[in-house]
Amino acid sequence: MSATQISAAGKVLKVLSAFGREHSSQTLSEIAQRTGLALSTTHRVVTELAGWGVLERGEDGAWHVGLRLWEIASGCPRTQILRDVALPFMQDLYEVTHENIQLAVREGTELVFVERIAGHRSVELLTSVGTRFPVASTGMGRVLLAHAPREIQEEVLDSPLRSWTPHTVVDPKALRTQLDRIRREQVFVSDRQLSASTVAVAAPVRIGRRGPVSAALGIVFTAQGASRARALREPLLRAAHGISDELARRTHTTA
């Protein structure tokens, strides 16, 4: 489809999709280049979005996502209740561990991080709130993949898997075995799969103790402290169960 055939809404979506973690600030020319839209069209769309506060212009003249877009996104029903429920438990878990605490959901074959607590002494991460990764890339993602519909699992297993570190499990047969183990066990230890400097322990968050998996809760810490994984299992499970119980209560109350 040529640029002239794209609807007005399609042009807006193209411009918004040009922004991301690696392209958080861009000039008008860069936006036009990334979207394939004419410079005049890009200027018109960007100007309209700026008028709504969805895009903002920095002192250097480059454009970035505006506060209004964050306000709209923060009201997403799928994550709003989850984040409201999970945050107190995440804060308690951080006080016990003083490590990175993350919450993520699955969207298709991708993992989306929706909340995070980190201290200034916590190990530096590749992930942040709002970032996406292939679902098989992280420990939390594999927990979600293990409980995903069969067609999603097969789509991931049939696709080439990226090797992020020398330790990343990319063999489909080995990953299938790992997913089976995740379903049997409550906590999964992800050893240097996304980053050679980090280890994660992750557990599913359900709607009730036996309900469907709606998210994954994880603790990420330095690989040098990998021996801590066993000790972190119990506090992680307490937090995941607490979130699951509260989600069930909220769901029952609003039903």
Which element (helix H / strand E) includes 190? strand 188-191
| Residue 92: partners with Cβ closer than 8 Å, 6 or more residues away | 239
Write down the pTM of the prediction.
0.72
DSSP-derived 3-state class of residue 188: strand
For the chain, the straight-line distance linking the first and the last C-alpha, in angstroms and rounded, comes to: 44
Q: What is the pLDDT of residue 217?
A: 97
Q: Which CATH number describes the domain made up of 3-72? A: 1.10.10.10
Same fold, 3-72 and 77-254: no
Cα separation, 96 vs 27, whole angstroms: 44
Profile the chain (255 residues) by mean pLDDT over runs of 10 residues: 70 85 82 91 92 87 81 64 91 92 93 84 68 89 95 94 88 93 91 84 92 93 82 94 91 58
Q: Which residue is listed with tokens 């410079």? A: 39
- Other Cβ atoms less than 10 A from the Cβ of 224: the count is 11
Q: Are the CB atoms for 214 and 206 separated by under 8 Å? A: yes
Q: Enter the tokens of residue 166.
A: 């020398």
Q: Enter the tokens of residue 182.
A: 């995740």
Q: Enter the tokens of residue 136.
A: 């098989």
Judged on CB neighbours under 10 Å (0-12, 13-18, 19+), 208 is middle
Q: What is the CA radius of gyration of the chain?
A: 20
Q: What is the pLDDT of residue 122?
A: 66
Q: What is the pLDDT of residue 10?
A: 87
Q: What is the pLDDT of residue 253?
A: 56
Pick the CATH number of 77-254 from 3.40.50.970, 3.40.228.10, 3.30.450.40, 2.60.120.10: 3.30.450.40
Could you give the count of Cα atoms lying within 13 Å of 13 in the half-sphere of its Cβ?
6
Q: What is the pLDDT of residue 255?
A: 46
Q: Enter the tokens of residue 77.
A: 């029903």
Domain ranges within the chain, ordered by starting residue = 3-72, 77-254
